[in-house]
């Protein structure tokens, strides 16, 4: 009778190009989710902390942090997309299209846009485009993600391979500034730093200096908040080594929050160009972060520029600006290599 009613998840052969999966469970956000985000991460972005600051930038109120919205949408996909995943391979073409405000209800759906069985016949790669929608069915964010999924039935025939064309980065002209956003009266005292986009050079690297040592309770509280149910994050009896693997999104949010020190004015995340969870992270690790300016561009919104950033999270023992070794592989202390666009005063 075991597992007759429980969700054992989809296997590789259960995915088909064109398939659309409506994910459970919709979620209404409030000041509670915001407060928890600020308690779990050293998040200090003024636009996400203060209604008055956000209103001074042309928004109706302070939105929920962009990464909180991302985690909420992502968490819903886990039981349908990645519960039997062997590896989380990548992200591409992610865009934030609308701010999420307290009172909004988010749901998510994913369309399968690619499948490719591995040569070993035991697994395959599944590509999905996931959309987060609000209570008015407006898309608030979407992104492509691909995962390696085990086959449940090794005898299932390999599907016709379909691999989507994915751009290396979201083009500047495809970035969406929230309606009304205006940085012309931006208050650099209240935001925390005087640096505007003109002060950053392409190629510049910034050591964010601060570090955070992670506790089991914290990453579990965060991961549950996003209703991400992947067993490996919560159950110390699941892995042979008795360790709980930390949700990659927890490291993303930690690193982004740490980047406030040096990038206080990189306010809104508008695109996720790509990302790799280079090495696993466990409780007890102390996380620090550094960023590299990859590109800069104006936007159509008054006073608003777009800055493309590489955000790298490393753990204790890493060299300054550690990334890859001579073999081209990530150094063992590197946890995250993320590529995103943010909006910053020009």
Query: DSSP for 182-212?
Result: --TT--HHHHS----GGG--TT-EEE----E
Contact flag: residue 118 with its own copies (CB under 8 A):
no
The closest of 54, 118, 112, 108 to 86, measured between CA atoms, is 118
Do β-strands 212-213 and 205-207 pair in parallel, antiparallel, or remain unpaired?
Answer: unpaired
3-class DSSP state of 79: helix
Q: CB neighbours of 341 closer than 8 A, spacing ≥ 6?
A: 169, 170, 172, 175, 269, 270, 271, 273, 306, 307, 308, 309
* Residues in contact with its own copies, shown as a per-residue x/- string from 227 to 256 under the rule CB under 8 A: x-x-x--xxxxx-----x------------
* For its own copies, the closer CB: 5 or 328: 5
* Interface region with its own copies, contact rule CB under 8 A, candidates 85-93, 101-109, 268-276, 296-304: 101-109
Query: Least CB distance from residue 204 to its own copies, whole Å?
Result: 7
Among 6, 119, 120, 165, binds its own copies (CB under 8 A): 6
Query: Least CB distance from residue 148 to its own copies, whole Å?
Result: 22
* For its own copies, the closer CB: 93 or 253: 253
Among 28, 153, 167, 184, binds its own copies (CB under 8 A): 28
Specify which residues 22 forms β-bridges with.
Answer: 109
Contact flag: residue 46 with its own copies (CB under 8 A):
yes
Specify which residues 127 forms β-bridges with.
Answer: 114, 146
| Residue 72, number of CB atoms within 10 A of its CB | 25
Query: Least CB distance from residue 84 to its own copies, whole Å?
Result: 13
Among 19, 42, 89, 294, binds its own copies (CB under 8 A): 42
* For its own copies, the closer CB: 121 or 317: 317
3-class DSSP state of 248: helix
Q: Which of residues 48-67 bind its own copies (CB under 8 A)?
A: 49-53, 62
Specify which residues 297 forms β-bridges with.
Answer: 306
Contact flag: residue 207 with its own copies (CB under 8 A):
yes
Contact flag: residue 9 with its own copies (CB under 8 A):
no
* Interface region with its own copies, contact rule CB under 8 A, candidates 141-149, 173-181, 218-226, 274-282: 218-226
Query: Least CB distance from residue 199 to its own copies, whole Å?
Result: 8
Query: Least CB distance from residue 167 to its own copies, whole Å?
Result: 29
Contact flag: residue 156 with its own copies (CB under 8 A):
no
Q: CB neighbours of 97 closer than 8 A, spacing ≥ 6?
A: 138, 139, 140, 141, 142, 176
């Amino acid at each position: 009778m075991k597992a007759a009613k429980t969700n054992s998840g989809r296997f590789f052969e259960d995915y088909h190009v064109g398939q659309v999966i409506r994910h459970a469970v919709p979620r209404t956000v409030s000041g509670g989710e915001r407060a928890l985000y600020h308690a779990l991460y050293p998040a200090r972005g003024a636009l996400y902390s203060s209604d008055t600051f956000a209103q001074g930038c042309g928004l109706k109120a302070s939105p929920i942090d962009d990464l909180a919205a991302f985690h909420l949408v992502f968490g819903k996909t886990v039981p349908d997309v990645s519960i039997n995943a062997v590896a989380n391979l990548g992200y591409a073409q992610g865009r934030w299209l609308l701010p999420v405000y307290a009172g909004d209800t988010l749901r998510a759906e994913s369309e399968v846009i690619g499948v490719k069985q591995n040569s070993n016949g035991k697994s395959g790669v599944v590509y999905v485009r996931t959309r987060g929608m609000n209570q008015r069915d407006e898309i608030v964010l979407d992104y492509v993600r691909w995962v390696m999924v085990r086959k449940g039935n090794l005898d299932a025939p390999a599907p016709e391979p379909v691999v989507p064309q994915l751009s290396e980065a979201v083009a500047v002209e495809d970035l969406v500034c929230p309606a009304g956003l205006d940085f012309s009266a931006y208050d650099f005292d209240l935001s925390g730093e005087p640096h505007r986009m003109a002060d950053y050079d392409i190629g510049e690297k910034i050591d964010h200096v601060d570090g955070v040592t992670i506790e089991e309770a914290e990453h579990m509280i965060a991961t549950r908040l996003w209703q991400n149910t992947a067993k490996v994050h919560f159950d110390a009896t699941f892995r042979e080594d008795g360790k709980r693997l930390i949700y990659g999104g927890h490291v993303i949010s930690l690193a982004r929050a740490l980047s406030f020190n040096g990038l206080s004015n990189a306010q809104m995340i508008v695109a996720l160009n790509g990302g790799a969870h280079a090495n696993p992270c466990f409780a007890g690790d102390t996380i620090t972060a550094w960023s590299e300016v990859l590109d800069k561009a104006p936007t159509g919104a008054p006073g608003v520029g777009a800055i493309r950033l590489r955000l790298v999270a490393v753990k204790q023992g890493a060299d300054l600006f550690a990334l890859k070794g001579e073999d081209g592989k990530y150094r063992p202390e590197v946890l995250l290599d993320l590529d995103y666009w943010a909006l910053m005063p020009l």
